Amino acid sequence: MKQLWLAAAALLWPCAANPAAGELQRDALSLDYSKDKGLLSAAYRGGQVVVWDFETGHVKKAFNESAPKATLNRPLAQFNASGRLLAFTQEGDAGLVAYDLASGKSTVLIPRRLLVRGITSFNWARQTDALLIAVGRDIFLVDAAGRTVWQRRLETRAIITDVIWHPSEKFYTVATENGEVSTWETASGRVLGSAKLETGGHATPVRIGWTSEDFLAAVVHGASLMLLDPETLKPKKTIACNCQALSWSGNGKEIFVWNPPAISVYSEAGQRTRELRTSFEGESPILWIGEGRLLTDGPDSTVVLRDARSGKTLRTFAP
């Protein structure tokens, strides 16, 4: 079964003054879904994190409710494979924590003292409870107990904007703000392939997504969707678009791209098959959750469950 190993996340995280404590910013920058536990999470621009019961739509938990004036870390939240742990970024003494939804216990994964720059991306492994975490130009591998397995620095001046496991988890792939994309062997740290994507000559977030050993895609924010060769990482096809986030379907046959105010749908070969119009014009992550359904942002800080064929709203989740 092909599967995309990432939680959906929008590509920009500007630090701006926030509303009063407890009041949410307009949009969620990160969405995730645990089918096993029936839970949905969203991390909002001001750093707040909300968890819903997917069936009832009721809020089960909220974190970071006293929003900071600015966030050093990119607001992110992601469940581990079992859905028991929710990792999320926060401000204060801990930059990244794992919260056990059963026991209520929190574990510090990245302390603030390691944050010369903010956390820009992290990704749970599916086979073990460990995370790849991007901090500036460094990648950390940290287990669920908060133990650092290793720390590696990229030989670049650019900031990492995404890090994601290869489906085998023997490798991982990294993208930077200047379009550098590289795949590394997890155990040895040996680089297996690298390429430079066109970003228009300026720094911009680049996001990547594996769906199997055969398909890899990248989004250059506001510029293009690229299908990459899985070995050389060089673009096989480039599609100009106002792309902001991507998510593969479960079978790896379609790519859903947030192209506001629409969702553009492409085949695995990069041919656009349909355009799903929405009424939301803001930035949004996008996440395929199975059974022909997608999650995106909606108006007034809501999260919207959509039909993947028509784009029709099936349900909304209000914080």
- Mapped to the 3 state alphabet, what secondary structure does 199-257 carry? CCCCCCCEEEEECCCCCEEEEECCCEEEEECCCCCCEEEEEECCCCEEEECCCCCEEEE
Q: Is the pLDDT of residue 78 over 70?
A: yes
What are 289-316's pLDDT values in tens digits?
A: 999 999 999 999 999 999 999 999 999 9
Pairing of strands 119-124, 171-176: unpaired
| Terminal Cα distance for the chain, rounded | 33
* More confident call, 268 vs 18: 268
* More confident call, 16 vs 254: 254
Residue 249, judged by CB atoms within 10 A of its CB (0-12, 13-18, 19+), counts as buried
Q: What percent of the chain has pLDDT over 90?
A: 81
* More confident call, 109 vs 250: 109
DSSP H or E segment with residue 193:
strand 191-196
From 2-6, 223-227, 276-280, the region with the lowest mean pLDDT: 2-6
Reduced to 3 states, what is the DSSP secondary structure of residue 306? strand
- Cβ of 106: how many Cβ atoms within 10 Å? 16
What are 171-192's pLDDT values in tens digits?
A: 999 999 999 999 999 999 999 9
Reduced to 3 states, what is the DSSP secondary structure of residue 113? helix
Question: What does the domain layout of the chain look like in residue ranges?
Answer: 8-317
Report the pLDDT value the prediction gives residue 71, as an integer from 0 to 100: 77
Q: In degrees rounded to 5, what are phi and psi of residue 113? A: -60, -20
Q: Is the pLDDT of residue 1 over 50?
A: no
The DSSP call for residue 125 is -
Strand order in the sheet with 160-165: 160-165, 171-176, 180-185, 191-196
| CATH code for the domain defined by 8-317 | 2.130.10.10
What are 3-61's pLDDT values in tens digits?
A: 444 456 655 443 333 334 345 556 899 999 999 999 999 999 989 999 999 999 999 99
Average pLDDT across the chain, whole number: 91
Report the pLDDT value the prediction gives residue 91, as an integer from 0 to 100: 87
List the structure tokens of 76. Answer: 């992110």
Mean pLDDT (whole number) for 102-119 = 92
Report the pLDDT value the prediction gives residue 12, as an integer from 0 to 100: 44
Report the pLDDT value the prediction gives residue 69, as an integer from 0 to 100: 59
| Cα angle 161-225-117, degrees, rounded to a multiple of 5 | 5
